[in-house]
Amino acid sequence: MSEGMGDAAMDRRAIVKGALGGVLGLALPPFARSAFSQASLAVVPVSEGFVMLTGAGGNVLVRTAGTGQVLVDSGAAKFTDAVLKQLRELPGGGRVTTLFNTHWHKEQDGGNLAFGESGATIIAHEKTRVHLATDYYLPDEDRYEKALPAAARPTVTFFTGDKTLAGNERIEYGHLLEAHTDGDIYVFFRDANVLAAGDAISPLKDPVLDWFGGGWLGGRADAQEKLLKLSNEKTRIVPSYGPVMGRAELQAEFDMTRLLFDRMLAFLKQGMSAQDMLDAGLMKGLNRTFRDPARFAYDAHKGYWAHHNTLGPEVL
Ligand SMILES: [Zn+2]
């Protein structure tokens, strides 16, 4: 709060804010309100037969086909109507047969209920199903996120290894152990060479490590190495946020992740806190700039402590 701001000024500010909310939320007629909520949704071409919906929370990858659409992630709940409308305009007419969830965060499974209720098979890691089937704690916000209704939960799950979905084309999927949460998966449309990697990669945004949900830097490095092995120069790689990537960009991100992992491990062995690490040059000379290095360092540092027993004898 700035100094000298009296209660009257605060009240005025609150009133102005409230009035704006009223203008946008209530004063518009219904058709304009729905146009407003869809204004940010965009259809981005990915590859022959594939598009990505952006502006729906997390990216939604769509394999369009007359026989039914396949989705990777369903966006945030408040955009579900906009996503459904958009899907109806694409080949397949909005009939979704299969939905994958790359992990259990709200911007990836907010549309699950609509697709589950219309009969889509929802495929995810077992840890994702467990998270969505029970209330779970969010330490940053000090509250519990509510479980999803039964119809919104994954119906086909797996625990370890890589799987292939039988059909006219090979759709492979598998675990990315602790890359961002404890339930991350990739989905690889091998014939089309399109690889959805969820939030295990992040071309623009700072990498997010949900340490309380099981993500850590070591898992992220391993996951990105696995994605590199799956891909080639022609692979179109789809993240949860940001633009479609190529393999060279994935390689650059992996190099950075690996460098950060090695640096942090060395610093950890010297007993450093997250702030000590930043002061000692944790982020020096990276191939990209972080918006919030302190946040990243804090979360990454937290994640190491869950794995101290696997980091070698000098750590404790
Ligand atoms: Zn996430």
CA 184–ligand 1 middle distance (angstroms): 9
CA dist list (Å): 267 to 97, 160, 277, 282: 48, 32, 6, 9
Mean pLDDT of 245-249: 98
In angstroms, the CA 313 to CA 293 distance is 28
pLDDT on residue 306: 86
- Residue pair 148/112 in contact (Cβ under 8 Å)? The answer is yes
- Residue pair 61/236 in contact (Cβ under 8 Å)? The answer is no
Render pLDDT for 109-125 as a digit per residue (tens, 0 to 9).
Answer: 999 999 999 999 999 99
CA 1–ligand 1 middle distance (angstroms): 31
pTM summary value: 0.86
- Residue pair 69/87 in contact (Cβ under 8 Å)? The answer is yes
Mean pLDDT lowest for which of 16-25, 167-176, 181-190, 273-282? 16-25
Query: If phi over 0 gives left and psi between -120 and 50 gives alpha, with beta otherwise, what is residue 119?
Result: left
In angstroms, the CA 32 to CA 230 distance is 45
Residue 313 binned pLDDT confidence (cut-offs 50, 70, 90): confident
Kindly give, in sequence order, each residue whose CB lies less than 8 Å from that of residue 295, ignoring residues fewer than 6 positions away. 206
CA 81–ligand 1 middle distance (angstroms): 21
Q: Which of 165, 184, 44 is nearest to 98 (CA)?
A: 165
CA 276–ligand 1 middle distance (angstroms): 27
Mean pLDDT estimate for the chain: 89
CA 105–ligand 1 middle distance (angstroms): 5
Render pLDDT for 159-213 as a digit per residue (tens, 0 to 9).
Answer: 998 899 878 789 999 999 999 999 999 999 999 999 999 999 999 999 999 999 9
- Residue pair 113/138 in contact (Cβ under 8 Å)? The answer is no
Q: Phi and psi dihedrals of 232, rounded to 5?
A: -135, -175
Render pLDDT for 75-108 as a digit per residue (tens, 0 to 9).
Answer: 999 999 999 999 999 999 999 999 999 999 999 9
Tokens of 159: 């625990």
pLDDT on residue 316: 58
